[in-house]
Each structure stands twice: as structure tokens, then as C-alpha cells.
Amino acid sequence: MKLWSNYVMAATVDEAVKALAEAGGKAKPVAGGTDLLLELQQGRQESVHTLVDVSAIPDLQRLEVRGGQLFVGAGVPVARIVQHPFMRLHAPGVVEACGLIGGPQVRNTATLGGNVAHALPAADGMISLAAMDAVAEVAGANGLRLVPLLELFRGPGKSILTENHEILVGFYLPLRTAGQGSAFSRVMRPQGVALPILNMAIWLQRTGESIECVRIAVGPAGPTPQRALAVEEFLYGKPYTPEIAAQAVELIRSTMKFRTSPRRATAEYRTHLVGVLLLEVLEKAWQRASKLEAI
Ligand SMILES: Cc1cc2nc3c(=O)[nH]c(=O)nc-3n(C[C@H](O)[C@H](O)[C@H](O)COP(=O)(O)OP(=O)(O)OC[C@H]3O[C@@H](n4cnc5c(N)ncnc54)[C@H](O)[C@@H]3O)c2cc1C
């Protein structure tokens, strides 16, 4: 069976957006194809009329400092993110997440934009961006707009991008300054499924021995990616001590709701793991916040 009828190799953002609009909902963007092509082949995604390949668009390949922020193009393969010195200095949590996606072949092809646009609540790259408070640059028929990352999602596999025939151009992340650190960790079955049992990313700012500000993203903890807002609020301004960390663990276990998924884990196991991951990423980000250096 034919999985698509028409393949458009877009050279610019405008060409891609035009091709999506012209197909009126019967087209899909494709970047590395590591999610989409498998879904088409395995029948988990209905065949599409037109695939719009965005992987050769120069604007989606940029990775640079722009207007006082770090810009990561949606089409940048995650292997490039792992190696990039800017990313290793400014966004260690994103580097850690991207370095855990698939194996080397997958990482050479898979893009950060595809990881986000697939809209699964536990995609590793996406969760790491959520902790960085990333803002997505999105292109559609009315031009470019900026959307806070978590506002992109509507449910598992559903995003405003598909609804509006838009594409992701890239992500803006804050540049790291002294006293800031980020980290990512996950628990994964060794084989079989592409997404983790649980993952967590953190960004924090320390002042002396206290946590001035913190963001924690967890997946999967609902139909869309989630921040642990109650724990963030609890940690604001608190000294980083074993007692405070233990209270944060209790709080994250009592406030985040997990579900049992037959092929991955029970809700009870995830509730246990969320505390374990919190201690791990908190400590790593805290240590990183004491020295402004690349990982
Ligand atoms: C063996 C294997 C292991 C994997 N392991 C992991 C893992 O450990 N962790 C993890 O998080 N993921 C994992 N994945 C999933 C996958 O590699 C990632 O989600 C990947 O980052 C998707 O990027 P892509 O460029 O391949 O996207 P594609 O497959 O090309 O597209 C994915 C979706 O995003 C849309 N899309 C792509 N680019 C854009 C854009 N610029 N704008 C709008 N929409 C767009 C497509 O229409 C499609 O809906 C694994 C996959 C495989 C095959």
C-alpha cells in the first residue's frame, strides 16, 4: 500500500507552510522520519497525501545565540545538539536528554522539532525543553509567532501545529548565567519501547546555599507534558538541605498523578520513581549551578 502520494522537498519555511496549506489537512511535515515513517509503516498513522520534508530548510538548521537567547532550529538532529559547545554550556539538561534518545543512528537523524511536534507527554528532548521554559517559534499562513512550549500540546499526539497546519521553526532558550544549572534523568526499560517509564528535567537558580528559583518537568504525568508546580513553589527561596529535599520528594509523590501503562510501568512504581529522579536531578543541577562550565 502506498503510504503517501506526493513528496515535497521544501527549501524555505514559506514553501513548507504553503505546501501544508495547499494540501488542506492531507499533508504532514517530515524531518528525520524516525517517528512518522514507522507510524505510517505500522499503520498507527493513516496514510497521508503529501509529505512535506522540512529537513533541508536552512532556517531550521540554525543553532546560534540570537537576541540574547540561544536559538535551536527545529530541524537540528539531536546528535548535533549533544556535541555543540553552546548547548553543553548553556543547556546541559537538554544535552543529557538528547544524548539518551535512541541509539547513534537514531540520534543522527531524529530532530528536536520532531520530538516536540510528535506531542507525546514523555518525549525526552521535549521534557528537557519544558524545564528550560523554552519558547517555540512557529510558522503558519499568517507568518511567524512565538508560543510558550507547553501551550503547544492538546493531548497525546495532538498539538496546535497540526490543527493550524503550522511548522516548528525552532526554540528559544535562556542563556545560562552564574548560579544556574540544569539536568535531566530518566528510567527506561532496556529494550522494546522508545519512551521512558519516567523522565524528569530541572532548571534552577541558586543564591548562596538557597534555591532562588526552580522549574521541574515530568513525563508522562498526564495527557500533556507537566511541570511539578507545587514542588517548584515549595522550593522557592528554601535552603538546599537533605531535609528540604526529603520534603520535596514527599510533595512530588503526593501531588503528581501517574497512570499504569501495560507495557511500561504501574502508577505505584512511577510514584516511587518520581522521588528518586527528583533527588538525582536536584543534586546534579545544584552542583552545576556552583560553576559556570560546560559538561
Ligand atoms: C529506535 C528508536 C528509539 C527511540 N528512542 C527514543 C528515546 O529514547 N526518547 C525519545 O524521546 N524518543 C525516542 N524515539 C523517538 C524519535 O526518535 C524522536 O521523537 C525524534 O526526535 C522525532 O524526530 P524526527 O525528526 O524523526 O521526527 P519525524 O518522525 O520526522 O516527525 C515526527 C512528528 O513531528 C512532525 N514534525 C517533524 N518536524 C516538524 C516540524 N519542524 N514542524 C512541525 N511538525 C514537525 C511530523 O509531522 C510528525 O508528526 C526513538 C525512535 C526510535 C525509532
Higher-confidence position of 24 and 168: 168
Residues 226, 219: Cα–Cα separation, whole Å: 7
Residues forming a β-bridge with 33: none
pLDDT averaged over the chain?
95
33 lines ligand 1 (CB under 6 A): yes
Q: Residue 72, SS3?
A: strand
pTM over 0.95: yes
* Sign of the CA dihedral with 125 first, then 127, 128, and 134 last: positive
Nearest to 17 by CA among 138, 136, 140: 140
Q: Are 60 and 75 in contact (CB under 8 A)?
A: yes
Residues 211, 265: Cα–Cα separation, whole Å: 32
Q: How many angstroms is it from 68 CA to the middle of ligand 1?
A: 28
Residues 16, 29: Cα–Cα separation, whole Å: 8
Q: Using the atom order of ligand 1, give the atom closest to the CA of residue 36.
A: 29
138 lines ligand 1 (CB under 6 A): no
Q: How many angstroms is it from 238 CA to the middle of ligand 1?
A: 38
Give the pLDDT confidence of 61-112 residue by residue, as tens digits.
999 999 999 999 999 999 999 999 999 999 999 999 999 999 999 999 999 9
List of E strands, the chain: 4-9, 27-30, 48-53, 63-66, 69-73, 135-140, 143-148, 153-155, 158-159, 167-174, 180-187, 198-207, 210-219, 226-227
Residues 96, 82: Cα–Cα separation, whole Å: 7
Q: Using the atom order of ligand 1, give the atom closest to the CA of residue 112.
A: 21
167 lines ligand 1 (CB under 6 A): yes
What domains appear along the chain, each with residue ranges and CATH number?
Answer: 180-288 (3.30.390.50)
Q: Using the atom order of ligand 1, give the atom closest to the CA of residue 157.
A: 49
Test site for ligand 1: of 106, 116, 149, 187, most ligand atoms within 8 A of the Cβ: 106
Taking CA atoms only, the protein residue closest to ligand 1 atom 3 is 102
pLDDT given at position 46: 81
Per-residue pLDDT, averaged over 123-131, amounts to: 98
Q: Residue 26, SS3?
A: coil
Q: How many angstroms is it from 212 CA to the middle of ligand 1?
A: 34
Give the pLDDT confidence of 5-58 residue by residue, as tens digits.
899 999 999 999 999 999 877 899 999 999 999 999 998 888 788 999 999 999
Q: Are 176 and 95 in contact (CB under 8 A)?
A: no
Q: Residue 227 has which C-alpha cell?
A: 511541570
